[in-house]
């Protein structure tokens, strides 16, 4: 039975698109790791709502001009990494797909980027105005689209593109021939991309698309009904998994009326026990289903580090452990990977729901209070519940137990992943010798 | 090979231990932060203080309203303590006077070392005022306040509301604003000649809180001016506040001491302040100008 599952998963992973995606994610991992670390600095150390900023009172000893400068320095890194991640992903995906079929990878990558930029081009009021893009399409939020475009371009090269240069010594002539042979696929791509761009610019798709995730996020914040909150968090997790999540969606609960009502109650009465909205989706989620960001990635990383076996996964886990501890999990999603990895789909989607369910139950039983107090951005996952109850020890113990449960529940999937990776590792990747 | 693998897993264990250690180390400062932050929040939420913050006009100092407060305190049963701040050009803040213990409605006057006229200076003064406001909100933990601005002081308030108030609006509410002889369009007598400042203020009006009650009081000596500020320039305020705030009420005061710089000592105006700006002891005021009757 289990080997059947493993075989199925291996076959899924051997599909050329998934292979291209996984290779792309592996290549992107160092980039996203640096991005995540920079984000940790920006959001946690340099933001007025940040965790380190507050607990070390950074605002009181760091001069404002220094703070501003540091913000610029680090934000430049995160902005470029996350807002242009799609461009990088598209290049690498096209590159890998073409190489998979032994086609000229360099030109394919170039064509992929060109296609993505064309698709994202935003028509201005008149054609003479400066260059402008639908930025969401270039960002990590649209990773899936970037990967699809890259893959599509790669496939086009498989059909029409020039072959890989196999000669040891490349001459000018070879290079030039190669460039000219790419004209056809480039032309076809351009025409297609122009059409897509026309469709995007003339319809309301882009607006609807670019606002979906944010709208869902804010809707899930305001819900006072646990079940709807659960459903929405499921939808959001699915979007994260297919690569349409927002890598920078590390937000605190919004100041919605329900949240404010809870906080005000707690402040006036000095206690979190009898707030008006005990089962507020946002605070439940933030306190009990947010260990390392969406999908309890911290539990996954710990499970991997505990598990004896595949060393490359361990290496990724060790590197991403730090940002993931402070809930900046995008590098884990890319590096492990979780994105488009069917092995982790089930726990990624449902463990947060289990957590919220248990937490709501325990709250209903009156064992732990509600969690109305403000929590700083980047507070380590296991401490969030404790902080949000203004230091309720039962909540701390409950949170740690919950984390332990999540780690245990992630373990079988980690084992399965190791087996799948093992089998995949033995098969060589198409078109290249090293894995 | 086997050895290497073992070593690598050991390294993973070390990382795990380091993570746990990190959480334990961070837990302590987190605990202290949490306790003090929540205590501050609670103090603010439960604060009963609702100060009146006053900004004088150009060329005036933080002592501009001493006489006004004196008259005010003679006429009301509740005595208001008077705290005066001056923001120096280097950002330092000097204070004189104090707030009496238990005074829920103290008067705080904020003056500036650079008290010159002109849009550029007013922008600087709004920024300087924001420093003072940050200090006040930190120190006194009030969750709502009332504002009063004489002449250009009203411009500083308007600019501050548009540019800086959002930094506090989650915790602190401005309930009422009274401007006195404030030249929203400087010395222009017609809004057909809008000054840069007026243009900017109108442009930023959407940032002004919708729950605010605004009273714009003009004085007239002749039929169209208080001797310095044209009545039309005061009236121009409606293009900023009307249709944005909860209520926008204009009033004109004439008679003796209705001259621009005499206004703050005008008995009629002291009446208006105690009637409209201050919280009344006898509970909600009747009439359409009462914010409590509007459901805001």
Tens of pLDDT, residues A108-149: 999 999 999 999 998 877 777 778 888 888 888 889 999 999
Q: Domain B51-293 in CATH: superfamily?
A: Alpha/Beta hydrolase fold, catalytic domain (3.40.50.1820)
Q: How far apart are CA A156 and CA A153, in angstroms?
A: 5
Question: Which runs of consecutive H residues, i.e. helices, occur in A242-344?
Answer: 257-269, 281-288, 297-306, 311-325, 330-335
DSSP characters over A252-277: PPP--HHHHHHHHHHHHHT-STT-S-
Show residues of chain B in contact with A51, CB under 8 Å: 30
* Domain hosting residue A417, numbered range: 207-426
Is-contact B156 B204, C-beta < 8 A? no
- What is the pLDDT, as a whole number, of residue A224? 64
Show residues of chain A in contact with B33, CB under 8 Å: 54-55, 376
A196, A272: one domain: no
A408, A287: one domain: yes
A281, A411: one domain: yes
Is-contact A286 A372, C-beta < 8 A? no
A219, A348: one domain: yes
Show residues of chain B in contact with A387, CB under 8 Å: 30, 34
C-alpha distances (whole Å) from A335 to each of A38, A82, A222, A316 are 16, 15, 32, 6
CB within 8 Å: B34 and A391: yes
> Which of B3, B14, B20, B26 to mutate: most A Cβ within 10 Å?
B26
A54, A302, A305 ranked by CB distance to B33: nearest: A54
A197, A211: one domain: no
A223, A362: one domain: yes
- Strands B213-219 and B173-180, sheet pairing: parallel
β-sheet bridge partners, residue B110: B85
B181: left (phi over 0), alpha (psi -120 to 50) or beta: left
Q: Is residue A38 part of a domain?
A: no
Indicate the number of domains in chain A: 2
A182, A137: one domain: yes
Structural element, H or E, at residue A218: helix A205-222
Tens of pLDDT, residues A257-286: 788 888 888 888 888 888 888 888 778 888
> Which of A383, A385, A393 to mutate: most B Cβ within 10 Å?
A383
Tens of pLDDT, residues A288-341: 888 888 788 999 999 999 887 767 888 899 999 999 999 888 889 999 889 999
A280, A226: one domain: yes
Q: Is residue A77 part of a domain?
A: no
Domain ranges across chain B: 1-46, 51-293
A236, A186: one domain: no
Structural element, H or E, at residue B109: strand B107-112
Q: How far apart are CA A189 and CA A94, in angstroms?
A: 12
pLDDT string in tens for chain B (296-residue length): 556 666 667 888 888 999 999 999 999 999 999 999 998 888 888 888 999 999 998 888 888 888 889 888 888 778 899 999 999 998 889 999 888 888 889 999 999 999 899 999 999 999 999 999 999 988 888 989 999 999 999 999 999 999 999 988 888 999 999 999 899 998 888 888 899 999 999 999 999 999 999 999 988 777 777 878 888 899 999 999 999 999 999 998 887 777 777 778 888 888 889 889 988 754 444 434 444 433 33
Query: Sheet containing B82-87: which strands, arranged edge to edge?
Result: B93-97, B82-87, B107-112, B52-55, B144-150, B173-180, B213-219, B247-253
pLDDT at A431 over 70: no
Q: Is residue A21 part of a domain?
A: no
A233, A186: one domain: no
A368, A275: one domain: yes
Phi, psi (5° rounding) for residue B36? -75, -40
Tokens of B158: 């308007």
């Amino acid at each position: 039975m289990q080997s059947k599952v493993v075989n199925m998963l291996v076959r899924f992973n051997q599909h050329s698109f998934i292979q291209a995606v996984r290779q792309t994610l592996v290549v992107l991992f160092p980039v996203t790791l640096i991005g995540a670390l920079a984000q940790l600095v920006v959001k946690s150390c340099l933001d007025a709502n940040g965790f380190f900023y507050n607990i070390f009172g950074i605002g009181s000893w760091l001069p404002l001009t220094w703070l501003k400068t540091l913000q610029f320095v680090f934000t430049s890194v995160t902005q470029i990494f996350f807002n242009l991640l799609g461009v990088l992903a598209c290049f690498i995906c096209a590159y890998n797909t073409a190489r998979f079929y032994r086609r000229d990878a360099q030109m394919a990558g170039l064509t992929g980027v060109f296609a993505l930029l064309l698709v994202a081009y935003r028509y201005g009021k008149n054609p003479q105005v400066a260059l402008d893009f639908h930025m969401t399409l270039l960002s990590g939020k649209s990773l899936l689209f970037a990967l699809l475009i890259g893959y599509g371009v790669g496939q086009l090269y498989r059909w029409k593109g020039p072959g890989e240069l196999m000669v040891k010594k490349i001459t000018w002539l070879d290079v030039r021939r190669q460039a000219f042979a790419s004209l056809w696929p480039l032309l076809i791509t351009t025409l297609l991309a122009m059409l897509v761009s026309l469709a995007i610019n003339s319809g309301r798709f882009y607006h609807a698309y670019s606002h979906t995730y944010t709208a869902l996020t804010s809707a899930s914040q305001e819900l006072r009904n646990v079940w709807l909150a659960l459903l929405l968090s499921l939808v959001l997790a699915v979007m994260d998994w297919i690569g349409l999540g927002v890598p920078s969606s590390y937000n605190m609960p919004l100041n919605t009326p329900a949240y404010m009502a809870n906080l005000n109650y707690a402040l006036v009465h000095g206690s979190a026990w009898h707030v008006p909205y005990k089962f507020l989706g946002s605070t439940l989620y933030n306190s009990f289903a947010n260990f390392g960001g969406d999908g309890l990635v911290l539990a996954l990383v710990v499970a991997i580090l505990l598990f004896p076996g595949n060393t490359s996964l361990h290496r990724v886990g060790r590197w991403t452990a730090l940002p993931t501890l402070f809930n900046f999990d995008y590098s884990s999603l890319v590096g492990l990977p979780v994105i488009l990895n069917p092995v982790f789909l089930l726990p990624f989607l449902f463990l947060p729901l289990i957590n919220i369910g248990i937490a709501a139950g325990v709250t209903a039983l009156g064992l732990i209070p509600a969690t109305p107090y403000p929590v700083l951005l980047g507070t380590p996952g296991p401490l969030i519940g404790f902080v949000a109850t203004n230091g309720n020890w039962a909540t701390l113990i409950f949170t740690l137990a919950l984390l332990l449960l999540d780690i245990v529940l992630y373990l079988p999937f980690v084992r399965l992943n190791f087996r799948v990776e093992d089998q995949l590792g033995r098969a060589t990747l198409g078109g290249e010798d090293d894995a | 090979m086997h050895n290497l693998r073992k070593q690598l897993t050991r390294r993973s264990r070390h990382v795990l231990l380091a993570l746990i250690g990190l959480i334990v180390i961070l837990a302590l400062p987190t605990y202290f932060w949490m306790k003090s932050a929540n205590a501050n929040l609670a103090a603010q939420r439960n604060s009963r203080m609702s100060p009146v913050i006053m900004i004088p006009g150009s060329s005036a100092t933080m002592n501009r309203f001493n006489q006004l407060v004196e008259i005010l305190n003679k006429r009301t049963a509740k005595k208001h303590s008077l705290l005066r701040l001056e923001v120096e050009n280097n950002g330092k803040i000097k204070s004189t006077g104090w707030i009496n213990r238990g005074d829920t409605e103290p008067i705080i006057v904020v003056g500036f070392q650079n008290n010159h006229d002109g849009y550029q200076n007013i922008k600087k003064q709004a920024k300087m005022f924001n420093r003072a406001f940050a200090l006040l909100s930190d120190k006194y933990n009030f969750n709502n306040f009332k504002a009063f601005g004489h002449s250009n002081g009203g411009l500083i308030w308007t600019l501050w509301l548009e540019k800086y108030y959002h930094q506090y609006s989650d915790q602190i509410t401005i309930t009422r604003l009274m401007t006195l002889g404030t030249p929203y369009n400087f010395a222009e007598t017609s809004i057909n000649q809008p000054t840069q400042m007026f243009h900017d203020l109108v442009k930023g009006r959407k940032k002004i809180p919708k729950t605010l009650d605004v009273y714009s009081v003009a004085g007239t000596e002749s039929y169209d001016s208080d001797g310095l500020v044209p009545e039309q320039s005061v009236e121009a305020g409606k293009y900023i506040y009307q249709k944005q705030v909860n209520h926008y009420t204009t009033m004109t005061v004439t008679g003796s001491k209705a001259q621009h710089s005499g206004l703050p000592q005008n008995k009629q105006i002291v009446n208006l302040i105690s009637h409209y700006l201050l919280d009344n002891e006898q509970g909600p005021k009747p009439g359409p100008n009462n914010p409590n009757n509007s459901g805001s």
